[in-house]
Chains A and B, each alone.
Chain A
Amino acid sequence: EAQVTQNPRYLITVTGKKLTVTCSQNMNHEYMSWYRQDPGLGLRQIYYSMNVEVTDKGDVPEGYKVSRKEKRNFPLILESPSPNQTSLYFCASSFQGGELFFGEGSRLTVL
């Protein structure tokens, strides 16, 4: 089954404790992206990747890192999480110019 898989789905952590949210897709998509969803703000792009080893900042990249060492994986790294990064995070992938396929979301709470 074609899908985008994120882990963990739910996470509660404390300020400053590094964490990684994994994302994997099995559709051989070149393009992958991370969004955060906050009430009243819709989805805002954090980082995106056009292909392996090619990443770029989206609209709200501060406090996040990404890597794209393999085509299927695009992890999101929070080196030192802060409470303002409490949010619902979505990973998505697509062929360039095509529709985005979304993961189920990862709800992160930073205390």
Chain B
Amino acid sequence: AQSVTQLDSQVPVFEEAPVELRCNYSSSVSVYLFWYVQYPNQGLQLLLKYLSGSTLVKGINGFEAEFNKSQTSFHLRKPSVHISDTAEYFCAVGGNTGKLIFGQGTTLQVKP
């Protein structure tokens, strides 16, 4: 069975500071890993994904994540956040069936 744990429910950070949102997963098979962002009153939008290949994945809006198989982690990072990055972020794990298992979400609060 697959599962995802997002280690922080809320992450407050000041504008232009770096941020890391943590995600650990559990799976007995090869995984695909995703980060989605949800802005207020909107659906989920894909930030980035890891399917195979390079463990450092770059996504939209300056975000990147690193797949670490030994630590079963897929942490999301951005070197300098903006107010507009305030949103809820979801980590998800899936396989080749299409089904995704989501974490509980992390609310990123960027303060001026």
Question: What residues make up the interface of A, taking CB atoms closer than 8 Å to B?
Answer: 4, 30-31, 33, 35, 40-45, 48, 50, 58, 90, 92, 94-100, 102-105
- Mask of B78-102 contacts with A, CB within 8 angstroms, 1/0: 0000000000001000111111111
Known: A40-B104, A90-B43, A105-B43. A31 touches B9 (CB 8 A): no
Decide yes or no whether B7 CB sits under 8 A from chain A: no
Are A99 and B9 in contact (CB-based, < 8 A)?
Answer: no
Known: A42-B90, A99-B46. A31 touches B105 (CB 8 A): no
Known: A40-B9, A102-B43. A96 touches B102 (CB 8 A): no
Decide yes or no whether B11 CB sits under 8 A from chain A: no
- A-B Cβ contacts below 8 A, count: 61
- Mask of B49-89 contacts with A, CB within 8 angstroms, 1/0: 10100000000000000000000000000000000000000
Decide yes or no whether B28 CB sits under 8 A from chain A: no
State in angstroms the CA–CA spacing of A94 and B32 once bound together: 14
Which residue of chain B lies nearest to A98 when distances are taken between CB atoms in the complex?
Answer: B98
Which residue of chain B lies nearest to A105 when distances are taken between CB atoms in the complex?
Answer: B43
Which residue of chain B lies nearest to A6 when distances are taken between CB atoms in the complex?
Answer: B43
A residues less than 8 Å from B46 (CB atoms): 99-100
Nearest 5 CB-CB pairs, A to B?
A31-B98, A102-B43, A42-B104, A97-B96, A43-B102
B residues less than 8 Å from A97 (CB atoms): 32, 51, 94-98
Which residue of chain A lies nearest to B34 when distances are taken between CB atoms in the complex?
Answer: A99
State in angstroms the CA–CA spacing of A97 and B50 once bound together: 11
